A and B are shown apart, each in its own frame.
Chain A
Amino acid sequence: EDKVVQSPLSLVVHEGDTVTLNCSYEVTNFRSLLWYKQEKKAPTFLFMLTSSGIEKKSGRLSSILDKKELFSILNITATQTGDSAIYLCAADLTNAGGTSYGKLTFGQGTILTVHP
């Protein structure tokens, strides 16, 4: 059974702290790993990682994938209260034909709370 596990499940920090969120996966036919941020409503896309060792950055957020060890991390530096959200990682699987159909298997999410 395909499985994505995130840790920690919740995290409370103060503004300015740096956090690292973890995501490990055990899936068949892995294609890519995606990170989403969910605030009040729909998850919003952060990163898609397909290749190992290539860091993706967007402002204070960065993420990297290790396909050998089957995990990814999401780093947030100099956290702000606006970073408070649930961070979801999801594995995007590819089917037998080699075309990804985008069915995402989600982890449980990490609830990040940033205090002023």
Chain B
Amino acid sequence: GEEVAQTPKHLVRGEGQKAKLYCAPIKGHSYVFWYQQVLKNEFKFLISFQNENVFDETGMPKERFSAKCLPNSPCSLEIQATKLEDSAVYFCASSQRHRGLISLLANTEAFFGQGTRLTVV
């Protein structure tokens, strides 16, 4: 597709319940990123994938959070045993495959989905 599709748009979970968020990147984009926006302005990087491989998970909380990008399936971000502080908007973004320094015209901007608003009550 031509846009990053995130589902669901809204998700409400009781504390301790599991939450699973989905993201379908733009067709042809090799990189997928998950960001957490807790306060209105602040984006926190969580994890990135290059195709189905974890590329950078330095932002992922060590416990309760996991993510996958499997072939022919939407990517997913799962939170086990949600806590109140997990309430946030979770954005997924995708970007094209990069050719490296040889191509100065390589498109590197990330295209964002509309986000999933997770509310933990």
Contacts and interface: CB of A to CB of B under 8 A. Distances in A.
Given A102-B95, A103-B45, A108-B41, A34 B50 contact: no
A84 to B, nearest CB: 13
B38 to A, nearest CB: 12
B115 A101 contact: no
Contact of B31 (A88, A98, A102, A108): A102
Contacts of B113: 42
A70 B33 CA distance: 25
A92, A98, A101, A111: which has the most chain B beta carbons within 10 Å? A101
Interface stretch (A16-24, A43-51, A73-81): A43-51
A58 interface: no
Nearest to B91: A42
Interface residues of A, number: 29
Contacts of B114: 41-42
Interface in B1-42: 31, 33, 35, 40-42
B63 to A, nearest CB: 22
Contacts of A43: 91, 112
Interface string A63-97: 00000000000000000000000101010100001
Interface in A24-62: 31-32, 34, 36, 41-45, 48, 50
A42 B40 CA distance: 12
A104 B101 contact: no
A27 to B, nearest CB: 13
A105 B59 CA distance: 11
Given A45-B109, A48-B108, A104-B33, A98 B100 contact: yes
Q: Which 7 A-B pairs have the closest CB atoms?
A: A109-B41, A42-B112, A99-B100, A106-B43, A102-B95, A98-B101, A41-B114
